[in-house]
Amino acid sequence: MSSILYSPLQIKSITLKNRIAISPMCQYSAKDGFANDWHLVHLGSRASGGAGLIIQEATSVSPEGRISPGDLGLWKDEQIEKMQQINRFIIGQNSVPGIQLAHAGRKASAATPWEGGKKLDPAHGGWETVAPSKIGFHDDETTIALDKQGIQKVISDFKLATKRAVQSGFKVMEIHAAHGYLLHQFLSPLSNLRRDEYGGSFENRIRFTLEVLAAVQSEWPEDLPLFVRISATDWAEGGWNIEESVQLSKILKEKEVDLIDVSSGGLVLHQQIPLGPNYQVAFAERIKKETGVLTGAVGLITEAVQAEEIVASGKADLILFARESLRNPNLGLTFAKALNTDVQWPKQYDRAKVR
């Protein structure tokens, strides 16, 4: 039986050689938003390792939108050149380069994980953060509620970053509306207490995400794939939930979003997540079945047979690997053996291929 995981997936003008994607994973290794050789090797090795799609980490649309001072950015033209180099290498490995554009909102201005991950104050390299409402991620934190001018600036920042992403050579765009970052903060009633047209009702809470989407679409080529990553649930009472995620996904599909990258959580510290293999797959499956949109499944998917079952049974169309790809940069090559599937290896590595 032929493998579905290793079958091509065409989305608009782009054909992925398989259903294996590398999830955007922060490396906290940039300086002033600039990519460097770490990113070249990190992303490039996973392209040579056989994945069909490589999505660059959450790339901030503005300096204040970074999670940490080490985040990548696309807020100025000078940041384009290194990304062009990385993308040329990825394409040269018969893989597709993607980018996730993001704004961290109230979760910005944090130290890197290996430095403790705590909020940085301006005296120690941090900056003021923004959010839909004056509710910090931690109880002892403050944040600024975005006014209308601030909202329009963020929308403009996404538009300009998208233009630079096109110039950088990316072929897939993903808008980050998950994991407790700014767009997700507007979606959830736990973090959005606004009383204007951006808060309250479901229609109002999704407004900002839809306006960002429209700004991105104004610069992103119509023939290239456009993804949105969402947190399907906050895993917290009174928060954003799967029913709202299905409703939003229907709207996004109508607005010509090609794939919903379905994750969960990240908004509040009191979330209760039942971690385990495939713990988020049911969300991707429900969204796919109820809306007809393509979905990507993520979260504790670590084995080839496990990934094959998800796509072969129609639960999702794409598998996005994060930590497992850190442990195994060549999983696109090595998983094929477990599925008795022959794939092309880089000619430089072909002598190591098990025949």
Q: 7 exposed, middle or buried (CB, 10 Å; 0-12, 13-18, 19+)?
A: middle
Amino acid at 238: G
Residue with tokens 């054909």: 15
- Catalytic pick among 6, 28, 181, 198: 181
Q: What is the signed CA dihedral for 181, 186, 191, 193, rounded to 10 degrees?
A: 160
Half-sphere exposure of 265 (CA within 13 A, CB side): 12
Place of tokens 């504790």: 300
Query: How far is Cα 78 from Cα 117, in angstroms, rounded to an integer?
Result: 28
Other C-beta atoms lying within 10 Å of the C-beta of residue 322: 16
Query: In the structure encoding, which two tokens stand for residue 116, read together?
Result: 């403790």
Respond yes or no: is residue 198 known to be catalytic.
Answer: no
Catalytic residues: 181
